[in-house]
Chain A
Amino acid sequence: MSEGIYLDNNATTMVSPEVVQAMLPYFTEQFGNPSSIHQFGNKVGLAIKAARKQVQKLLGAEHDSEIVFTSCGTESDSTAILSALKAQPERKEIITTVVEHPAILTLCENLEKDGYTVHYLKVDGKGRLDLDEYAKLLTDNVAIVSAMWANNESGTYFPVVEMAAMANAAGIMFHTDAVQAVGKIPMSLKDTKIDMLSVSGHKLHAPKGIGVLYLRRGTRFRPLLRGGHQERGRRAGTENAASIVALGKAAEMALEHMEHENICVRAMRDRLKEGLLAAIPNCFVTGDPDNCLPNTLNIAFEYIEGEAILLMLNKQGIAASSGSACTSGSLEPSHVMRAMGIPYTAAHGTIRFSLSRYNNMPEIEKVIVAVPPIIAQLRKLSPYWDAANNVPVEEPEKAFAPAYA
């Protein structure tokens, strides 16, 4: 698929060639255990130290010891929430949002079974929170607030810096799943009240299977994995040295490209948006386009289904993803789209295009040409579409009301 056009960078990213180069020696010459005294381990320990500094810099953390390497974003999320519950056994409530990634939502649903109360903040049609509702929930019973920095499907930001300050004023810990935001937008955690933050390497051109939990100095903490003294005992298990080095390099490169991401990648995203909206009837952007990641565009194509669109795009070498139920094998479309009140006829047809600095403008122009005929072809098959006049059938929900709903 080297000739393909990859617009699914929120799912995962290509590992940068420079990152691969940086990590390779740690499979061969530098295979030692960083905990060992001898020369084989020593260099590895130094390389991990350097990587920690690189990540610290990207996050704008005050101390490098606030960076804890984990195995993935999901582990960081679980560690943060379970730690807060364990460290404060008298607090039995959690505040989160309805649009979190399953790494948070599934965990919270499971905690409800164990007797915890979880408050799920709702979102409006553009995916925005009601901070008054949030303020009312900040009581002494709450162990932790967890709200994502940027949504993986729509790219929409939550005001996490403000929310963290509110939680802090109420004496409550604040965690943010920043897996989609880190590396795409500038951060300075030392100037915020965020206590914990999750990172996943494979979203910023590092390999899969490496993550970070940022843990502000002074935050009460209980490890998820206990054992050796690695990561100062906060995350036992021999370090994934090669991937840690890779993540360090990727963090350094993300910082170097921060301006590019926010000017050039954004420009490509905006061109894609204008091009598609101009060429295709009955489609709209979901989320809050004015307050969203520079690389993400989520469009709902009405009256057709997302998986079918993806299959046709794939045939032309274009990779994107969908909030359709049928891509996940579940029956309900994306919880994010439903939470924003997107009707079913549109929610199933949402397509997420997520770009990276490895895309270029000619690719975007190709996509703008490729998509409209696919949409038209699928609409011809749709019972909600009047193929003769190329418009939705009149009152679609009534004209086609199938036997069970």
Chain B
Amino acid sequence: MWDYSEKVQDHFFNPRNAGAAAGANAVGDVGSLSCGDALRLTLKVNPETEVIEAAGFQTFGCGSAVASSSALTEMIKGMTVDQALKISNQDIADYLDGLPPEKMHCSVMGREALQAAVANFRGVEWKDDHEEGALICKCFAVDAVLIEETIRANNLSSVQEVTFYTKAGGGCSACFEGIENILNKVLAERAETEAAAPPPPPEPVKPAKAPLTNLQRMRRIEHTLEAIRPQLQADRGDIELVEVDFDKKIAFVNLSGACSGCQMAAATLGGVQQRVMEDLGEFIRVLPATEMGKF
């Protein structure tokens, strides 16, 4: 079944703070029955100091939902409400030594229950902006709703662009078909509205920021690779930049040492490409120098 960490298993089999907190003065109910996850978080907050003195949870959900709830109650006990609100879902996942990508939504639910409970304590209404779709990219835990919204918001038109904006597709690439299906749907709608309405005034597609010169790009790529090298060297490998083809948007590199022949070379390059793209702010492919003649 799932590859749950020891921590997740521990918090599932021995949940902390199960049940409603005694003397609770704040409650947050979140979740969705259709998704099979629902959580009631109860807090006892000191009205003077706003310190959370006790927390309790009741969860309808899977192993990681129970574990995330249990972890959250442990994390927030003793914090002030404001401190607790700074906890992100990633913090909850980290506390549990990680969650499988399919289960990250369980930690999201924990954070939202906290927000709802705090809103309840402060007597304000909490509105959820949560929408979650089918998981498309398992490597980076990206769902269909996020991909679709990102495509719309940024007028994307290729899988590469989607990868750049959301990371989806940046790993094993098994999710390309799923991404393409969403793209095709949005592109079809876009074509329809454009056909129906007169063309809108041309708007700048790219941010008004001045584009980088090729020299600047080259320096940034080198800079990123320098930052990655220590990690590779720790595994007795190394990487160096050989050539950049700016027209084709490809950076050619030499992977050497333990990295070059290992089965992980492709995965390593995928990770490097991700970093380079992030630092560069635009799409680029990273390929081994041995591929240079083929383009």
Q: A residues touching B (Cβ–Cβ < 8 Å)?
A: 303-308, 310-312, 314-315, 324-327, 329-333, 344-345, 348, 380-384, 387, 400-405
Q: What is the chain A residue whose CB lies nearest that of B143?
A: A331
- Given A308-B62, A383-B60, A344–B34 Cβ distance below 8 Å? yes
Residues of chain A with a CB closer than 8 A to B18's CB: 380-381
B34/A403 in contact, CB under 8 A: no
Expressed in whole angstroms, the Cα–Cα distance for A366 and B103 within the complex equals 32
A305/B29 in contact, CB under 8 A: no
Q: A307-B62, A330-B135, A348-B60 are in contact. List 19 more A-B contacts (CB 8 A).
A: A305-B37, A305-B62, A305-B65, A307-B1, A308-B66, A311-B12, A312-B13, A327-B62, A330-B134, A331-B34, A331-B105, A344-B33, A382-B58, A382-B60, A383-B59, A387-B19, A401-B29, A402-B29, A402-B30
- 27 A-B contact pairs sorted by A residue (CB < 8 Å): A305-B62, A307-B1, A308-B63, A311-B1, A311-B9, A312-B13, A314-B1, A325-B35, A325-B36, A326-B103, A331-B34, A331-B35, A331-B134, A331-B135, A381-B58, A383-B38, A383-B58, A383-B60, A400-B38, A400-B40, A402-B29, A402-B32, A402-B38, A402-B39, A402-B40, A403-B28, A404-B128
- Taking a contact as CB atoms closer than 8 A, the residue among B36, B116, B138 that contacts A331 in the complex is B36
Q: B residues touching A (Cβ–Cβ < 8 Å)?
A: 1, 9, 12-13, 15, 18-19, 28-40, 57-66, 100, 102-103, 105, 112, 116, 126, 128, 130, 132, 134-135, 138
B206 to chain A, nearest CB (A): 33
B29/A403 in contact, CB under 8 A: yes
Expressed in whole angstroms, the Cα–Cα distance for A401 and B134 within the complex equals 23
A308/B33 in contact, CB under 8 A: no
- Given A307-B63, A308-B66, A326-B61, A403–B128 Cβ distance below 8 Å? yes
B40/A327 in contact, CB under 8 A: no
Q: What is the chain B residue whose CB lies nearest that of A314?
A: B1
Residues of chain A with a CB closer than 8 A to B132's CB: 331
A382/B59 in contact, CB under 8 A: yes
Residues of chain A with a CB closer than 8 A to B58's CB: 381-383
- Taking a contact as CB atoms closer than 8 A, the residue among A327, A333, A400 that contacts B29 in the complex is A400
B252 to chain A, nearest CB (A): 37
Q: What is the chain B residue whose CB lies nearest that of A113?
A: B181
Q: What is the chain A residue whose CB lies nearest that of B69?
A: A381
- Given A307-B63, A331-B134, A404-B130, A326–B29 Cβ distance below 8 Å? no
Residues of chain B with a CB closer than 8 A to A306's CB: 62
B217 to chain A, nearest CB (A): 39
Residues of chain A with a CB closer than 8 A to B29's CB: 383, 400-403
Q: What is the chain A residue whose CB lies nearest that of B33?
A: A344
Expressed in whole angstroms, the Cα–Cα distance for A330 and B135 within the complex equals 7
B66/A381 in contact, CB under 8 A: yes
- Given A326-B36, A382-B60, A402–B31 Cβ distance below 8 Å? yes
A381/B32 in contact, CB under 8 A: no
Expressed in whole angstroms, the Cα–Cα distance for A307 and B65 within the complex equals 10
- Given A303-B60, A381-B59, A383-B59, A405–B36 Cβ distance below 8 Å? no
Residues of chain A with a CB closer than 8 A to B103's CB: 326, 329
